[in-house]
């Protein structure tokens, strides 16, 4: 009598599904950032190393230009406030970063830009949109 080996398990390939907030194993412990947060980090590193823009690589110059252009918040307080208030309203940190970067005007636009928001009512998403605008207005003035 021969012993039979159990069948080998196939490795199931995991697919990212942003609509369901699954980003894959590589990103399970990562936190999404607003463009303004990236700018703060880049500025901090450049200050620490006392670098002039002419000393930066082309990639760093382009990245800095992009996050400066699209980073809608101007200070650390507004960044932290925006993210925290959105998380308190039920957003995943990825959704909070998307809200802060994209700043949709209303619930319909937000749900088209951030598909995972379909799990919320329009009223809840509208409140999130208003939250972002309020934080931006308060800290820009």
Q: pTM value?
A: 0.78
pLDDT tens sequence across 50-82 = 777 777 788 888 888 888 887 778 788 888 999
Domain locations along the chain: 30-70, 76-140
> What pLDDT, on the 0 to 100 scale, is given for residue 4?
62
How far apart (Å, rounded) are the C-alpha atoms in residues 84 and 80?
6
Considering the domain 76-140 in this protein, what is its CATH number? Answer: 1.20.1250.40
Cβ(73)–Cβ(79) under 8 Å?
yes
Q: Over the chain (141 residues), what is each successive 10-residue block's mean pLDDT? A: 56 72 84 89 82 77 83 84 95 94 95 96 97 84 61
């Amino acid at each position: 009598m021969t012993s039979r080996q159990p069948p080998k398990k196939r490795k199931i390939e995991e697919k990212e599904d942003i609509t369901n907030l699954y980003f894959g194993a590589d990103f399970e412990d990562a936190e999404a950032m607003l463009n303004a947060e990236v700018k703060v980090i880049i500025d901090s590193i450049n200050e620490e190393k006392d670098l002039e823009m002419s000393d930066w690589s082309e990639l760093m110059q382009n990245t800095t230009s992009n996050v400066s252009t699209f980073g809608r918040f101007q200070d650390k307080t507004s960044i932290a406030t925006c993210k925290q208030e959105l998380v308190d309203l039920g957003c995943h940190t990825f959704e909070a970063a998307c809200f802060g970067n994209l700043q949709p005007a209303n619930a319909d636009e937000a749900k088209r830009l951030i598909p995972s928001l379909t799990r919320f009512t329009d009223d809840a998403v509208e409140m999130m949109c208003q939250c972002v605008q309020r934080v931006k207005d308060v800290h820009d003035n």
